[in-house]
Every structure is written in C-alpha cells, then in structure tokens.
Amino acid sequence: MRRIFFNVLLIILAFTIQNCIFPLLPFLSASPNLLLILTFSFGFMHGKEAGMYYGLLSGLLMDLFYTGPFGFYTLIFVYVGYMNGICTKYYYEEYITLPLILSVLNELAYNFYIYVFRFLIRQKVRIGYYFINIVLPEIIFTVVTTLLLYRVLMIINRHLEETGKKGDSNIV
C-alpha cells in the first residue's frame, strides 16, 4: 500500500515538473517525458497490471491538462504500461540496457502516435522535420533522464519492498 501511494505521489510530482517547470527553462529545446519514464519503469518493474494502472493515472492527468479528445493520452500511456509490463520477466536490477532500449522505443511510439493523430490527420506530412526537430531531441533528453531516474526508482522500489516485508513479518 505504501508503494502504491508513493508511486502515485511520484507521478503527480513528475506531472507537475513536466508541465509547470520544464516549459519555463529557456535553455531546453525539448524536455524529457517524465510521465512516460515513470509509466514504463513501473510497468517494467511491477508487471502488466501495475503498468496499466499507472499509465491510466498518467494519461488521465495529461488528458485533463491538455485539450483534445478525452482519452487521447490515456490510450498511449495504458498501452506503454502494458507493453513494458510484458518485459517484467526480463527484469534484473543491475541490467540497465533493456530499460534504455525500452525508453527509446516508448518515446518513438509515443511521438509517432502524436504525429499520426495530431498532425498527419490534418495533412501535415513533414515527418522529417518533426523527427529532427522534435522527436530526436526529446529522445535524447528522455534517455539521459532515464539513466538517472531509473536508478533512483530501483533504489526506492527496493527500499519499499524491504520495508513492506519487515512490516509483514512484524504483524505475524
């Protein structure tokens, strides 16, 4: 229960930082997608079901903040949480290569989804410009942020699991 509360708090904090602080930093041409990092990390660490729940929360926060059809962001975040939850069986704490690869793939899928349903439908077909100026810088920032944030999430997850196990043994 403590882990769920803490993870929800992290998602709300990441949403606040991503939407209220990063746009104010003039030196950032693109910003890392913290909600995507948290969603795929939680899905990767805790499984499909947890990834979908955290993706639902992240997507709902994005849908409430941005205009457009309700459920637009929820769909992609739930999908990301589920797909990364499938990779739980390959989860090892010291293995950082797979999370970095997943970070790149998730960022590509997320930006392709936005391109198709926000730009391509309106006949804006400059995918080269979109990829070079928007997707590539965001992928770079997200991967670098994943390097830092994923380790912190692993440490926090390990600590919360140990605390939960100690609490369970004290009850019996």
Burial letters for 140-153: b for 16+ Cβ neighbours within 10 Å, e otherwise?
ebbbebbeebbeeb
Question: What would the pLDDT profile of 39-96 be if each residue is shown by its tens digit?
Answer: 999 998 899 999 999 999 999 999 999 878 899 999 999 999 999 999 888 877 678 8
Confidence class of residue 168 from pLDDT cuts 50, 70 and 90? Answer: low
- Domains by residue range for the chain, with CATH: 2-171 (1.10.1760)
pTM score, whole prediction: 0.89
- Mean pLDDT confidence for 12-41: 88
